Amino acid sequence: MHHPAPTGRLPKAAGEPQKETHMRKSTAGIIAGAGLLALALTGGTFALWSDDAEADGGIITAGNLQVTTGQPQWYDISAGTDKTIDLNSFRAVPGDTLRLDQDVDVVLVGDNLKAQAAVELPDAGGALAQHLDVTYEFLDAQGRSLGSAEAGQAIETEITPADAGTYTVEVTFQFDENTPDRVATEASAAIAGTTITLTQVR
């Protein structure tokens, strides 16, 4: 009876192929696990979309509120007369009427600006003052009266940027025509300056 020559390899025992299959599955599991671990260690290799933009700024500009006075002009407006005078050389007599015109430049700049204009003329001083009737009027740029008062009293009115322009304070001095004898001859009256105040109310 012929027997095959030995090959040096032992015959496979029952169940051995199953062991080899199990090893292949385990190796695949190790490789997959290593891939997940590598992804985790990198902290993620993708990012969600993002964007940014910068909006334009701007410049805020303030308005203005200002009042300035021009040179005063004196007039003799006595009956039958209407002329400019030099107050330093003019000599008044009872019955004369003099007028002082004071221009006032008003600047108002502001979309929502409103201002209160207050005009005040103090009482005159000196020996002649008691014989003078002093009144004044505040006129806008169109020559319209915004109010009148006696010396020592204030005129107040509200104005807006639409009213800006050159205003005029007209002060009238009436020398009492009934001043008797030689009363107040060579006397003088000190005329105080007019005060114009602008105050924002809005």
pLDDT of residue 176 exceeding 90, the answer is: yes
98-147 pLDDT per residue, tens: 999 999 999 999 999 999 999 999 999 999 999 999 999 999 999 999 99
The Cα 155–Cα 24 span in angstroms is 108
Q: Which residue bears the tokens 């009115």?
A: 157
Q: How far is CA 61 from CA 9, 21, 109, 115, 165, in A?
A: 101, 84, 11, 19, 21
**Residue 38: enclosing H or E segment and its boundaries?**
helix 16-41
Considering only CA atoms, give the Rg of the chain. 52
Domains contained in the chain, CATH given: 64-200 (2.60.40)
pLDDT of residue 92 exceeding 80, the answer is: yes
**Residue 101: enclosing H or E segment and its boundaries?**
strand 97-109
Percent of the chain with pLDDT over 70: 77
Angle at 37 between CA 34 and CA 41, to 5 degrees: 140
Percent of the chain with pLDDT over 90: 70
- Kindly report which listed range (25-34, 52-61, 84-93, 153-162) carries the lowest average pLDDT score: 25-34
2-47 pLDDT per residue, tens: 555 555 555 555 555 555 555 555 555 555 555 555 555 555 567 7
